[in-house]
């Protein structure tokens, strides 16, 4: 018999509806799994009592015929989403004891649909990182650690910043998780942990109640074990929110209905600029194999050009720190969060921020403050925004020749904790295939396609037109069917 923790969301909903098990039993199985996985440092705050209460309420709704779309499904919530009455830290000392009095729009939508919160999961501090290693609560460890016998003692990163979200789903201790994606923080961890993650179009999901990193880039999205589950979760998470000025008032389609459709005649673009130096040869080979899988399923593969791609990383690392320096100015020890006493007000500000922010966050604040300062705004920030427009225009032109774009999601497989921490540039290069979508505001989905020789998963990314997540789900479901990825991390054995 399949363990309850091995079920997908879709399978669990069928089991709940057929009365094969209850939401309380499903939740208890996952609470036990969370306890057994504490060595991976996935959760910052566990909420077992609240989960049990939500599960009981779910069983009552199902008995009365009022079950929601995700009723009884245990989820992990990235600790960047404000949760009413539950500590929300952004993995930072400066918010170590912050307990919101309100609920984020996206998490409220999930709870309204009946889902169960197992707790708040780890991340890079304020979502700044690509390995889950900058958290003030120590790094998250990938459940894939030890998959290579030659490196069994190595502790691997689960990617970042949504490290805990990815690890919780891959380790089978949560059925799905919320993530956020500013420069690839859903798709890159999905790639290196062998799960599915989708960054929707900017404005598709509300950002209200999600602690901001870079407001023009941040977007919420689901992380799951298969494409169908991602479609289910996004259908619930998406929608217009008048509390978010960047939320777009457009209808939310039934993404599940887009799954399994024929892709005959669908045009899949391969951008020549993504053939970069330094890419893992196995990733490059799998990219072309994935294109062949889609071709065999009926798609037409075409070469395309995104000429300004080479400027994406430098543009991102001007715009994102600039917005971060502005957003993080609110953490000053006056209104909420950590306060370190000083001899005067300025000393209190400086002492609080030095004690409260980690090294990577301080680095990005300094970069952002510099590029926004007098004499440098025009030289850096304004020019970066102009190039951002050119990057978006590249996609507009490319989509005249294709319906979706296929690329790698990460330049390699998971690396060891500590391997790149002393070289910020190497860490920033982890986002080389993903940042373009955030700059252009486009949707992208990552799904697992194969294993490298070292036994670690590799994912591929599909990019779509703005607000055309339906076509992405159709193409992703076809690639998923062809790839037949069923591998599980050693931790689950």
CATH classification at residue 243: 3.90.1300.10
Q: Which sequence positions are flagged as catalytic? A: 78, 161, 185
Are residues 86 and 160 located together in one domain of the fold?
yes
DSSP helix/strand/coil, 119: strand
Split into its structural domains, the chain has a count of 2
Residue 450 lies in a domain: no
pLDDT of residue 478: 98
Show the domain range for 155.
Answer: 7-260+414-419+462-483
- What's the DSSP call for residue 83? B
457-463 and 444-451 strand pairing: antiparallel
Which residues does the chain have with pLDDT short of 70?
1, 146-153, 421-428
| Residue 40: its H or E element | none
Helices (H), 187-305: 187-193, 227-237, 281-296
* Residue 62 in tokens: 């199902």
* Residue 60 in tokens: 């009552």
Are residues 184 and 46 located together in one domain of the fold?
yes
pLDDT of residue 149: 53
Are residues 24 and 143 located together in one domain of the fold?
yes
Are residues 136 and 245 located together in one domain of the fold?
yes
43-46 and 457-463 strand pairing: unpaired
For residues 236 and 214, what is the distance between their CA atoms, to the nearest angstrom? 24
- C-alpha 291: how far from chain center: 24
**Helices 9-17 and 227-237: crossing angle, nearest 10°?**
80
Beta-carbon contacts of residue 181 (< 8 Å; ≥ 6 apart): 162, 187, 197, 199, 218, 219, 220, 221, 434, 438
Label residues 168-183 b or e (16+ Cβ within 10 Å = b): bbbbbbbbbbbbbbbb
pLDDT of residue 422: 67
Are residues 151 and 13 located together in one domain of the fold?
yes
For residues 93 and 56, what is the distance between their CA atoms, to the nearest angstrom? 34
pLDDT of residue 376: 83
SS3 content of the chain, % helix, strand, coil (to 5): 45, 15, 45
| Residue 407: its H or E element | strand 404-408
Are residues 17 and 157 located together in one domain of the fold?
yes
pLDDT of residue 429: 72
Residue 154 lies in a domain: yes
- What's the DSSP call for residue 177? E
Are residues 244 and 322 located together in one domain of the fold?
no
Residue 157 lies in a domain: yes
Residue 219 lies in a domain: yes
Sign (positive or negative) of CA dihedral 246, 251, 252, 258: negative
* Residue 160 in tokens: 């970042």
Residue 307: which region, alpha, beta or left (left: phi > 0; alpha: psi -120 to 50)? alpha
Q: Are 311 and 389 in contact (CB under 8 A)?
A: no
Are residues 248 and 322 located together in one domain of the fold?
no
Are residues 132 and 223 located together in one domain of the fold?
yes
pLDDT of residue 432: 85
Residue 218 lies in a domain: yes
Residue 2 lies in a domain: no
Are residues 256 and 325 located together in one domain of the fold?
no
Residue 174 lies in a domain: yes
Residue 104 lies in a domain: yes
Are residues 230 and 329 located together in one domain of the fold?
no
Are residues 124 and 197 located together in one domain of the fold?
yes
Beta-carbon contacts of residue 327 (< 8 Å; ≥ 6 apart): 212, 213, 214, 215
For residues 387 and 374, what is the distance between their CA atoms, to the nearest angstrom? 21
């Amino acid at each position: 018999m399949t363990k309850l923790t091995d079920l997908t969301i879709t399978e669990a909903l069928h089991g709940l509806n057929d009365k094969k098990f209850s939401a309380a039993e499903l939740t208890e199985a996952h609470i036990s799994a969370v306890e057994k996985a504490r060595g991976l440092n996935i959760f910052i705050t566990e909420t077992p009592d609240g989960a049990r209460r939500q599960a009981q309420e779910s069983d009552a709704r199902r008995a009365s015929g009022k079950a929601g779309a995700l009723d009884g499904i245990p989820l992990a919530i990235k600790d960047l989403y404000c949760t009413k009455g539950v500590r929300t830290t952004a993995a930072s000392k400066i918010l170590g004891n912050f307990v919101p009095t309100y609920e984020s729009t996206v998490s409220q939508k999930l709870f309204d649909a009946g889902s169960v919160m197992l707790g708040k999961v780890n991340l890079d501090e304020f979502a700044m990182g690509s390995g889950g290693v900058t958290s003030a609560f120590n790094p998250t460890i990938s459940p894939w650690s030890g998959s290579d016998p030659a490196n069994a003692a190595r502790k691997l990163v689960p990617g970042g910043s949504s490290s805990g979200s990815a690890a919780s789903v891959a380790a089978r201790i949560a059925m799905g998780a919320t993530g956020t994606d500013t420069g690839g923080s859903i798709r890159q961890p999905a790639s290196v942990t062998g799960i599915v993650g989708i960054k929707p179009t900017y404005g598709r999901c509300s950002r209200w109640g999600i602690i901001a990193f870079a407001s023009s880039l941040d977007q919420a999205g689901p992380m799951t074990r298969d494409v169908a589950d991602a479609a289910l979760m996004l259908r619930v998470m998406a929608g217009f929110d008048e509390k978010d000025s960047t939320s777009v008032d457009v209808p939310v389609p039934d993404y599940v209905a887009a799954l399994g459709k024929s892709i005959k005649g669908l045009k899949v673009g391969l951008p020549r600029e993504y053939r970069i130096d330094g890419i893992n040869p196995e990733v490059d080979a799998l990219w072309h194999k994935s294109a062949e899988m889609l071709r065999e399923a009926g798609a037409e593969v075409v070469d395309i050009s995104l000429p300004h791609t080479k400027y994406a990383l430098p543009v991102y690392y001007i715009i994102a720190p600039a917005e971060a320096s502005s957003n993080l100015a609110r953490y000053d020890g006056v209104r909420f969060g950590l306060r370190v006493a000083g001899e005067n007000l300025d000393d209190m500000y400086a002492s609080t921020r030095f004690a409260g922010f980690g090294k990577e966050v301080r680095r990005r604040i300094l970069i952002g403050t510099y590029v926004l300062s007098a004499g440098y705004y025009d030289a850096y920030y304004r020019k970066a925004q102009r190039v951002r427009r050119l990057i978006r225009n590249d996609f507009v032109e490319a989509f005249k020749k294709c319906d979706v774009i296929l690329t790698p999601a990460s330049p390699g497989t998971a690396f060891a904790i500590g391997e790149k921490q002393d070289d910020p540039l190497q860490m920033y290069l982890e986002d080389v295939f993903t940042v373009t979508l955030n700059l252009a505001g486009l949707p992208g989905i990552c799904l697992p396609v194969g294993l490298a020789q070292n036994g670690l998963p590799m994912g591929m990314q599909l990019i779509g037109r703005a607000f055309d997540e339906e076509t992405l789900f159709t193409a992703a479901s076809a690639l998923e069917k062809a790839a037949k990825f069923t591998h599980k991390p050693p931790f689950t054995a």
